Amino acid sequence: MRFERFSIFGFLIPILSSLIGLVGAVLIILILKLINIFIESAIIADISGLIYSNLLLLFFISLLTSYANYFLKFRFTLGVISPLISSAAGVLIIYFILKIFTVINKHINLEIITVISSFFSENILTILVLLLILSYLGFVIETAKELKAK
């Protein structure tokens, strides 16, 4: 059974790792812009613009996933909210992927991308509920295994 003690340093690690991820996203933007100087692609310009305009969202997603993992260390207290946080992060990830699909589809215009995007957009609440159910089911199973091992 995992028992962790709360510490300020442990609580700050998800913030630090999310900031590092943010630096990584900025580096990706810079690399895409550098590549685009030579090939002048509208799709690369749009994707780098999308990443840039969603840096806060990406930081927030990183923060949510990091804290969901951190809270799992406190399975019998804070761990209970971990599936909720990871489900919210999952929906935000899907939202961001849909934005990427929209940008790509603006340039290549494939019907399948439109259909997939529409399906996920129209069913985002259902997806959230499914993610919640699956996350809590996994949480309960893992918690039961830990209790049984005790």
Q: What is the pTM of this model?
A: 0.85
Q: Is residue 17 part of a domain?
A: yes
pLDDT digits (tens, 9 = 90+) for 45-69: 999 999 999 999 999 999 999 999 9
**Does residue 60 fall inside a structural domain?**
yes
Integer Cα distance of 26 and 54 in angstroms:
11
Q: Is residue 2 part of a domain?
A: no
Q: Please determine, for residue 15, whether its predicted confidence score (pLDDT) is greater than 90.
A: yes
142 inside domain: yes
Report if residue 20 sits inside a domain.
yes
Q: In this structure, is residue 3 part of a structural domain?
A: no
Residue 1 resides in a domain = no
In this prediction, residue 1 carries a pLDDT of 42
Residue for token pair 């550098």: 34
**Is there a domain that residue 69 lies in?**
yes
How confident is residue 74, by pLDDT bands cut at 50, 70 and 90? confident
Residue 2 has pLDDT above 60, yes or no: no
82-115: per-residue pLDDT in tens?
999 999 999 999 999 999 999 999 999 899 999 9
**pLDDT tens for residues 25-47?**
999 999 999 999 999 999 999 99
Domain count, the chain: 1
Q: How far is CA 75 from CA 47, 67, 72, 129, in A?
A: 39, 13, 5, 21
Nearest in space to 4 (alpha carbons), one of 54, 69, 73, 67: 73
What domain range includes position 32?
A: 8-149
Average per-residue pLDDT for the chain? 91
Work out the average pLDDT over 75-79. 81
Residue pointed to by tokens 């260390």: 73
Can you tell me whether residue 110 is helix, strand or coil? coil
